[in-house]
Chain A
Amino acid sequence: MAANAPPRDADAASRPMIEIVDLQKTFGENKVLTGINLKVPVGSTCVILGGSGSGKTVLMKHMIGLLKPDSGKVVIDGEDIVPLSVEHLQRVRAKFGMVFQAAALFDSMTVFENVAFPLRQHTKLSEDELYAKVRAKLDLMGLKREVESKFPSDLSGGMRKRVGLARAVVLDPKIVLYDEPTTGLDPITTDYVDEMILAAQKGLGVTSVVISHDISSAFNVADQIAFLSKGVIVENGPPEQLRESQQPAVKVFLETWFGKN
């Protein structure tokens, strides 16, 4: 796949990889997103920060087309994906890799088969080529050869996350989404996962969107932080901007965090 090929024209180079325009979503009586606007430039890492129930995961699911909004646009690499059918969404989803909160590895497959799965589904590589590609991604995540034959149930939380990330980037996607990648991890493993995110961004040139409520991790990896509160983005900019924000929701969030840590 030539997913990371350089943009062919100036327009493509200047446009954001992800653009959300006035996105609204309601579940029953519950208004979860009430007008989200967000741009994520090509090759950058955007962290969407917010408390539990602020709508972060719902926003991420819209980006990959797992949910349809009530109104608004979700433009991925220049194409609005909202009106697309399930069949056409398949093509757009091939641009994505996603790392789930609990890794979502297939528990009936070994680590190797998990990472090889997207390659088997979307390419016609020979077994040797497939092995080389999987091995390269496992190496990038610091996973040794003996891990290949293990099942997900035999791995620690941090290792599962790394396998999940290796699987997410094995097709060299343009965009990688991370759903709460450091939740439930100890500080050392959290640092390691942060390094993995930075390595994927620098080594593979992907655009990353990280959903998190872990502020220190967000400051470690973000080029841009969007703070989500009650269904809207109340602050959006580089990490320094968030640190100096006068938005009450952001101030309370930061004070609570830094007070405890």
Chain B
Amino acid sequence: MTTQTPSKPASEPGMFTQAVAGFGKGLIDVVSTIGGVVTLGLDVARWSVRRPYRLQNLFAQLDFVGVGSIFIVGLTGLFTGMVFALQTSEAFRLFDAESLVGPTVALTLTRELAAVFSALMVTMRAGSAMCTELGTMRVTEQVDALETMAVNPVQYLLVPRVLAGLFMVPMLTILFSTAGMSGAYFVAVSGLGISPGTFLTRTQQWLEPVDIYEGVIKGAVFGLSVALICCYKGFNASGGAKGVGQATTEAMVASALSIFILDFLVGLVMH
């Protein structure tokens, strides 16, 4: 009979191993989400050109994402412009250049802030609702019910939502810029004593159509990305109410991150 040596108990993984494993898992999750979102985007593109065209669903989503966000986006834009005018005027006053308040606010809003803030507002207001609604439909088998009724859920549920994000965020971006410039004008002219002529003429001198196009293009990219991420997370939710809540949290974080990352990438391409 051979003597058996007691087997060595499996040691607990060290902190370093756990950290590497955690990082690896996180990386796999990110790559898998990006892959899933891109695949879903291609699926949405494929189904968006096929009959039947459900215009009623599309208009309902355009209304929900776009018209429903007008107030919150307009208000955010107004106060952003006002605050920005107030802060920049203090800096410009140091070297007697208050006339640059208008152009500075205009360029910052049109190129960057309007698209970023509008997309963030749409993410919070409409994206979260999209994700929750789709997630609830998934866990209560309503999505399966659509499939069994020979209605493609991507075409019926996702196409209108993604198109609404794509079309409405650029429009909200323009609204944000307009509201922001109105706020900046009000603060600069009424509060800081800059003459209306100076504010408008200097803004006109510096602001080019290409700055507005940049904001609109960014708005479209962000709108598409946010809608796709929220739809993807909701559409693949599982695990009841808790799962839907988790999917919505993940969708909000991923959407916000995507806005900032894409802002940099689109800016890099355009400049």
Q: Which residues of A contact B (CB under 8 A)?
A: 64, 66, 86, 90-91, 93-94, 96-98, 100-102, 104-107, 117-118, 121-122, 177
Contact = CB atoms under 8 A, between A and B. Distances in A.
17 contacts: A64-B148, A66-B147, A66-B148, A86-B152, A93-B148, A93-B150, A94-B150, A100-B141, A100-B144, A101-B141, A104-B142, A104-B144, A104-B145, A105-B142, A117-B149, A121-B149, A121-B150
B151 interface: yes
From B136, B147, B152, name the one whose CB has the most chain A CB atoms within 10 angstroms.
B147
A104 B144 CA distance: 8
- Chain B: interface residue count, which band? 10 to 19
B149 A66 contact: no
Interface in B116-162: 136, 140-142, 144-145, 147-152
B139 to A, nearest CB: 10
Interface of B: 52, 136, 140-142, 144-145, 147-152
A91 B150 contact: yes
Given A102-B140, A104-B140, A107-B140, A121 B145 contact: no
Given A91-B150, A93-B149, 13 more contacts: A66-B144, A90-B152, A93-B147, A93-B148, A96-B148, A98-B145, A98-B148, A100-B145, A102-B140, A105-B142, A118-B149, A121-B149, A121-B151
A101 B142 CA distance: 11
A127 B14 CA distance: 69
From A102, A121, A122, name the one whose CB has the most chain B CB atoms within 10 angstroms.
A121
Contacts of B142: 104-107
A90 B141 contact: no
From A91, A94, A104, A118, name the one whose CB has the most chain B CB atoms within 10 angstroms.
A104
Contacts of B52: 121
A183 B59 CA distance: 39
B147 A104 contact: no
B130 to A, nearest CB: 13
Nearest to B52: A121
From A91, A93, A102, A177, name the one whose CB has the most chain B CB atoms within 10 angstroms.
A93
Contacts of A122: 150
Contacts of B136: 107
Contacts of B144: 66, 100, 104
A102 B141 contact: yes
A128 to B, nearest CB: 20
Nearest to B154: A86
3 pairs of A and B residues whose beta carbons are closest in the complex:
A104-B141, A104-B145, A93-B150
Nearest to A108: B133
A49 to B, nearest CB: 21
A174 to B, nearest CB: 13
